[in-house]
Amino acid sequence: MPSSVSSNSQKLAKAAETTPRGPLSTTVTWLCRIVVGCAFALGGWAKSIDPYGTLYKMLEYLNAWGLHSMPHEPVVMGAVALGALELTIGVCVLTGILRHSSAIAASAVMLFMMPLSGYIAIAEPVADCGCFGDVLVIGNTATFLKNVVIGMCCVWLLTRNNCCRGIFARPLQWIVVLATVLYSLVLAAIGYNAQPTTDFRPYPLGTVMAPDAQDDDDDAYLPAFDEEGEEADVFLADGTQLVFVVPDPGEHFLTRSRFTNELAEYAAQYGTHTAALVGTSAKGLKEWKLLAAPVFDAYSADDTDLKSLVRGDIAAVYLRDGAIVWKRNLASVSADLVESATPGRNALESISRPDDGNLATLLAGIYLGILLVLAAATLTARLTRR
């Protein structure tokens, strides 16, 4: 008896998939897949490439709700997981993978996001929702309206998504899911430990930071102040410069202060000037300098500007003639850089740039190449059966 019921269920499911549908229903279904899939995929990709940005936005929400003492570690894990989840749901919906399950997953997410975005649109606890990271910043009201449209599309897909065949054959669908999750996690690992592979912030590579070297239309101005609260010009228009960036001056910097001093002394051998930008007040800067004992000049700046400049609790920015050459989370710079450097050759000049676009193109090419091969295999198999 159970086997008969199971067999009948499979026949009914297969009949539902093969039942002819009108062109209007098919068109609407694919339009809903595109709307929901692209929204989820873009949001997940933006969160995956920039886990620090997602972390900052989540902490902004938590602070607005009075949860100031939340540890960073679980929030970081949540940020990475959220990016992978959204990207995977988006790809599944867009390509018709796991049609029923993906529609349920997307609807479940929107069931949470719609009332949240409605609350944000009314109360405005944050400036923007951060749903697309720095890739696309939209207002709170626009976010709510966007979620309404996505929610309506999810309702349609809950009842009609099984009616349209997907791009990939069933035996290959889990390979696509696995490839998407791995792609997201690799992006997040690079973005958290080094720098986002794609930079949509106001200070990408090549940005001229020195006021004396800027054109009239340059707006990459980052104000900094000395211990007396007087505005200071940190970035130099000529020569090379190494700038350490500390958005949140806590005890974590003290564990790296010796390394920063070693790098500063090493940079001085090649005529490279070193400075630090610390996200604190003038009074806080004095206290920080007493604890960190830097051998270089240090200035205070707004922590939000510093987080936009470079990602990382402690980061480094290398400039030549006032323009950014590379940016790295200091944790990704080898602790043996000075000791293993070739004599007569400035090792700071050879540090790789994960955000120059080459790595992003390579990873996207590998991922999309896998999807293309699987789609071609599916199409070949379908044409063969005809």
Confidence of residue 15 (pLDDT cuts 50, 70, 90): very low
Confidence of residue 385 (pLDDT cuts 50, 70, 90): confident
Q: Average pLDDT, stretch 82-105?
A: 96
Q: Average pLDDT, stretch 194-198?
A: 96
Q: Average pLDDT, stretch 334-344?
A: 88
Which residue segments constitute the domains of the chain, with CATH numbers given? Answer: 14-198+361-385 (no CATH), 211-352 (3.40.30.10)
Confidence of residue 330 (pLDDT cuts 50, 70, 90): very high
Residue 307 has pLDDT above 60, yes or no: yes
208-229 pLDDT, tens digit each: 998 876 665 556 789 999 988 8
**pLDDT score, position 23:** 82
**pLDDT score, position 130:** 87
CB burial readout 317-343, b (16+ within 10 A) else e: bbbeebbbbbbbbbebbeeebbeebee
The string of DSSP letters for 299-347 reads: EE--HHHHHHH--SSSEEEEEETTEEEEEEEGGGS-TTHHHHSPTTS-G
DSSP state of 31: H
Residue 313 has pLDDT above 60, yes or no: yes
**pLDDT score, position 170:** 92
74-93 pLDDT, tens digit each: 999 999 999 999 999 999 99
Beta strands across the sheet bearing 273-278? 231-232, 224-225, 297-300, 273-278, 240-246, 315-320, 323-329
Confidence of residue 251 (pLDDT cuts 50, 70, 90): low
Q: Average pLDDT, stretch 37-50?
A: 97
Distance CA 66, CA 60 (A): 10
Instruction: List, in sequence order, every residue forming a beta bridge with 245; answer none if it has no partner.
Output: 277, 315
Output the CA–CA distances (angstroms, integers) from residue 177 to 9, 96, 99, in the order listed.
26, 12, 13
Give the whole-number percent of the chain exceeding pLDDT 70: 92
DSSP E strand boundaries for 247-304? 273-278, 297-300
Confidence of residue 346 (pLDDT cuts 50, 70, 90): very high
**pLDDT score, position 218:** 56
Residue 205 has pLDDT above 60, yes or no: yes
Q: What is the mean pLDDT of the chain?
A: 89
Confidence of residue 8 (pLDDT cuts 50, 70, 90): very low
**pLDDT score, position 211:** 82
266-303 pLDDT, tens digit each: 999 999 999 999 999 988 999 999 988 999 999 999 99
Residue 381 has pLDDT above 80, yes or no: yes
145-154 pLDDT, tens digit each: 999 999 999 9
